[in-house]
Every structure is written in structure tokens, then in C-alpha cells.
Structure 1
Amino acid sequence: MDFKRPLSTAQVPTRFLQSAMLTDSVPLKALRSDPRISYCLYVPTEHYNPDPSRNPTSKGEASHPSYQLPKLPLIINIHGTGRDVGSCRRRLIGLAKRERCAILAPLFPTALDDELDLDSYKLLRSKTLRADLALLDIVAEVTSRYPGIDTEKFLLSGFSGGGQFVHRFLYIHPERVLCATVGAPGRVTRLDKALNWPQGIADVGEVFGEELRATGGDVSLGELRKIRSIQMVVGGDDVQVPDEDFNEWARKMKGVLSQAGDGRQTSSLEPMRVTRVATLRSLHEEWSSLGISTTFQVVEGFGHTSEGIHPTIEAFLIPQLRDWWSSGQSQQVTVTHRSIPDS
């Protein structure tokens, strides 16, 4: 047994999967390539095949009915600024049981870059973090641990800060995403070549050079157009704008912290000055004009609450999952995974 690699469910007798906390609600695990980052899962035991490579006609343990099950699709749900990763998983457990899928919820903690760092993961790249690559490393670990989950392409969802992460991740790694939900982001990145990242994409090749080498250092509109469907959703009453005095205080304090630290400056988000409804509507119009498949939904009667718009998100995800199953998506292998660094 290679103890430098994650423990695979293929190595665990089926009757011990729940006792080893490898199925149902799986506790937070530290990411091997960056232990500051962690993730939790929900893997429905009754729908999970722990080792699809086994011959289902074998005798003994290998004859267990679970070894005849197909692979599960994967939904990744990205938390907002409050980091309520438990809710990101909990809200989707019923869906996972009914529609046969696995749920992954990563946790990007605060204070990675400085004491006031709430936003580094939303930018994908900051002074000490590559959140997009961390997510792909998480997916690579899941691939190794869970051979019964199809991770080639995943369904990606996020609310608030998670919505910021999701739409920027689509710019850099569109080939990994089957469909996506962008929920109520306060600030967005435009497909504008006159503005630098994260306001626009003028310097995206410089910021994410290695990942965009195949597309000449630019966002691939062709790959974005291949994504089956993108939902943009926001509460109708989500019209509050953060206090400008706080924005000014935070800007000054970050300057003080930077001078007290190593002095390096990083990309940062501009203060939120317009409502999330207006921001998301504008992004939808931009993407639609470029031929990217998006739907824009306003959920009336709710403000900035993930609980309030979750039923609308779930209603979007259900047909996507059913299309996945009906199209035999689990048999398609088109993407090379990131390798897992040895511990």
C-alpha cells in the first residue's frame, strides 16, 4: 500500500466505508498540497461504487451490489465571505440522495494574506494563494480517494463571495465545468481588455500565464460557450451597498498592514458601489452578447441570503444532473487531472 497517496475507497471493505467516515457526511480534510485549505464531502453510501474497476461477477466482498453502480457526478459548492462551509454541504444533501450525486465544499480560510484578508480566494490569485489551483488539487485528491466519483467535469456553484470565485474560475478553467451557478456576487470581472485583473482581463495572460498558455494567454470564449448552461441568480431585495466609511477604513488599514509586512502589493477588489442585482444583470447582458449560455433569475422577496435563493439554484441543478445521467456523461473521459504531490 502506498501511504504517500490518499486512501482510496477501493482499499476499504464496503461494510467499513461509513465507519471510516469515507461516505455520507465526510469530515473536513486538509489539502495535502496546502494544509491551510480544507474540504468536506457528502457521498451517499447507497449510491456509491467504491471501486468501479472490480468485476461485479466476483464472489465474496467483490460481489457486493455497490460494485455494480455507475460513477456519481460531482457538485462543488463554494462558500461566501462568511465561510459557512457546513451549510454549503448540508443544503445539497437531499439533492445528493434523490438525484445520485456527490457534494464537495472547500474551505478557504480568512487571514491568509493579512489580518483583514477576506477576499483572497475570490480573486483566484493573491499574494500567498492560488485558489483555482487549490480547488483543482482538491479535485485530484477526490479522484484518488473516490474512484466512484466522476471528476472529469463538475457542476460548480457559489453564492456571494462564492459567486465571485465561480465566474472567475470559468474564465481560467472553463474546460473543467459542465454547468455553473453564479449567485449574487458583489463585484465581478468583466470580459474587458481595457481593465486589469480582477476588474477586467487585459493582463490575464500575465496573471495566469501557465494555465492560459494553450489559448495564447487569453480567456477562451470558445470554451466558455461550450459550457452547457450558466445560471445567474440574485434576490430581488439584494440592493444594499456596504458602508463607504468601512471601505475607506479597510483600505487604509490594509496599507498599514502591507507596510508592516513584506511590503508586496497584490491585486484587490474595488469597493462595492452598486447593487448585486444591477451588477449581475450587467454581467449577464455582457456574457449573453458574446454567445455564452446564461440565464438571469431574480428571486423576489429575498435579500442577500443563500437560504432564500437555494430552491431556485436546486431547481437549476436538478435538470443538469438528469441530463448528465441520461447522456451517459460518466463514460466520457476528456480531461487530464492535476497530479497529487507526494506528502
Structure 2
Amino acid sequence: MTGMVAAMREGLGDREVSILAPLFPATLGGEDHSDGYKFLISGGIDYIALTKAMINNAAAPGGRFGPIYLYGFSGGAQFAERYALFHSATLSGLVLASPGSVTLLDDTVEWWPGLAGACAAIGLSPDLASLCGIPVAIVIGSEDRVAGLVARPPGSPHGSIHEGLAGNSRLERARSLYASFRNSGIEASFHEVEGVAHNLQPVTLKAAEMIAQWIDAAEEP
């Protein structure tokens, strides 16, 4: 977490921003919840509501936040994508870095690999129209090719027969997600950081630099 914040601060330079870096509980009552946040609703915990509460609490001293740019790396990118699918109307930009599993915008495939049944699972309808209205970027190291990611077969927590639909490595899955976004009318951009594997610092720095550009563009008269 400290490495992510440091890379964000470096990439954002001297711009006046606040960085909110949520930490969700990994264990509650002796039970493992370390994966739950990636799927928004898990084990009786609503991670959307938790995130909103964190934002409201952090904004309380000044009354509100300005534009909100959402970033996630690896498991955090899984959360960020799925959060944005339902709450992009509250965001000004989205950067997804090196997600391990992705949700393709395919309403013929069951939630979470696709969007079928998403409303029943989450209690909200996906808002793709709002997602089309904000800048979206996918960032990943060009060498993030290791297969054998976390297996989620049917019968396991958050298991699905479609778990590998997007590919076998993070790079394949990031490319599949990019294609899915573009096919759905989302003007996403795709960036491979050359020579980098699954490494937090360089992809976060790239993401921060992109967010800095979006901030500057939004502030132009």
C-alpha cells in the first residue's frame, strides 16, 4: 500500500489531490474475507457501501470531494472495474492495472465473468452509459504473462465455469477486457509498460501520469 501511494504521489507531481487508499479487512470473526472485496458483495459484506462510507468520511472535513479518479492494481483492479460498472456516474476517470480476473461486458455470460445476472447478484443495474462518458485506461506490464492465476472453479468461493473466459494470463485478460470495452462503445485506451511483469510501482506510476493528464485537461479553460 505504501508503495502504491508513493508511486501515485510521484506521478501526480505537485497537483493538489487527496489519495484515498482503502484497506478492506482480510479476516473477520476468524473467517477469511481476503478475496471478497473483488466481487463487491461477499460473505454478507457490501463493499460498495463500505467504499461510499470511506469517501464520505474522508470528504467530511471539507464537505465534499472534487472529481474522483478510481485506480486499482491486481485484485484492486478487479474491485475498481466492478465498482465502476455500477457507479461510473460518480467517477471522473478509471484506470485498471494488471487485473487477475475481469468482467467482460457480455450479458450472455453469467456474473462475474460476464454481466448476466449482475443485477440480482449486486442489487444494482450496470451503468455502461456513464462508463462511456469518462476516460478509461488499462495498464499492464508487457511481461505479465504468468499463467496459473487464482483458480475459481465451480463450487469454490466465487467459482464459475467461465473463470478462464478472458484468457490464461493477466496480459491476455487485460487485452480481452480492452476489446470488450471497445466493443461496448467505451473509448478505453490500452498501455503495456515494456519489460515489466506483475510489478506495482511502474504500472502505478504510469497510471498516475495518465490521471495527472486528465486532471490538467479538466482544469483547462
Find the counterpart in structure 1 of residue 97 from structure 2: 183
What is residue 56 of structure 1 aligned with on the other side?
Answer: none
CA contact (8 A) 1:194 1:201 kept: yes
| Counterpart position of 1:30 | none
Structure 1 pair 220/310, CA: closer, same or farther in 2 (3 Å)?
closer
Supply the AA of the counterpart residue of 1:146.
Answer: G
**2:131 alignment partner in structure 1:** 224
**Partners of 2:4 and 2:204 within 8 A in 1:** no
Query: Which of 185, 193, 199 pairs up with 2:113?
Result: 199
Distance 2:22 2:172 in 1: 28
Count of aligned pairs between the two proteins: 218
1:56-135 alignment to 2 at 5 Å?
A: 85-95=1-11, 98-112=14-28, 115-135=31-51
Cα distance 1:99–1:207, how it changes in 2: closer, same or farther (>3 A)? same
User: Using the alignment, how far apart are the partners of 2:100 and 2:24 within structure 1?
Assistant: 18
Cα offsets for 1:153-189 (capped at 9, x unmatched)? 4000011001111111111111011001000101111
Supply the distance in 2 between the matched residues of 1:126 and 1:298 (Cα, whole angstroms).
32
How far apart, CA to CA, are the structure 1 residues paired with 2:75 and 2:87?
Answer: 18
**AA aligned opposite 2:65:** D
The superposition leaves residues 206-247 of structure 1 with CA deviations (integer Å, 9 ceiling, x where unpaired) of: 1222xx3xxxxx3222111111x111011011011237xx84
Change (3 A) 1:121 1:286: same
Counterpart secondary structure, 2:4: helix
Are 2:207 and 1:313 aligned?
yes
* Shift of residue 310, structure 1, vs aligned partner: 2.5
Asked if 2 retains the 8 angstrom alpha-carbon contact of 1:163 and 1:184, the reply is yes
Partner of 1:161: 75
Deviations 1:313-338 (A, max 9, x none): 122111111123235xxxxxxxxxxx
1:76-108 CA-to-partner distances (Å, cap 9, x unmatched) read: xxxxxxxxx222322223455511111111101
Query: How does the TM-score come out when normalised to structure 2?
Result: 0.87
**Higher RCO (Cα < 8 Å, 6 or more apart):** 2
Larger Rg: 1
Corresponding residue SS for 1:231: strand
Structure 1 residue 281 and structure 2 residue 175: aligned? yes
Deviation at 1:275, TM superposition (A): 0.9
Partner deviation per Cα, 1:48-98 (whole Å, 9 max, x = no partner): xxxxxxxxxxxxxxxxxxxxxxxxxxxxxxxxxxxxx22232222345551
Deviations 1:13-50 (A, max 9, x none): xxxxxxxxxxxxxxxxxxxxxxxxxxxxxxxxxxxxxx
1:240-280 CA deviation, whole Å, 9 max, x = no partner? Answer: 1237xx849xx79x97xxxxxxxxxx644747961111101
Check the 8 A contact 2:105/2:184 in 1, yes or no.
no
Report the residue type matching 1:165 in the other structure: F
Structure 2 counterpart SS, 1:296: strand
Aligned to 1:208: 122
Runs of 5+ unmatched residues, structure 1: 1-84, 213-217, 256-265, 328-343
Q: Which amino acid aligns with 2:81?
A: H
Q: Distance in 1 between matches of 2:91 and 2:48?
A: 13
Are the aligned partners of 1:113 and 1:126 in contact in 2 as well (CA < 8 Å)?
no
**Cα pair 1:240 1:275 within 8 Å, conserved:** yes
Inter-partner Cα distance in structure 1 for 2:44 and 2:28: 7
Equivalent residues of 1:236, 1:302 under 8 A apart: yes
CA gap of 1:141–1:200, structure 2 versus 1, over 3 A, is: same
1:133/1:107 CA distance change after superposition, 3 Å: same
Task: Compute the RMSD of aligned alpha carbons.
Answer: 2.6
* Alpha-carbon distance between aligned partners in 1 of 2:151 and 2:122, rounded to the nearest angstrom: 28
Q: Kindly tell me: are residues 242 and 107 of structure 1, through their superposed partners in 2, closer, same or farther at Cα, counting changes over 3 Å?
A: same
Query: Which residue type is aligned with residue 190 of structure 2?
Result: F
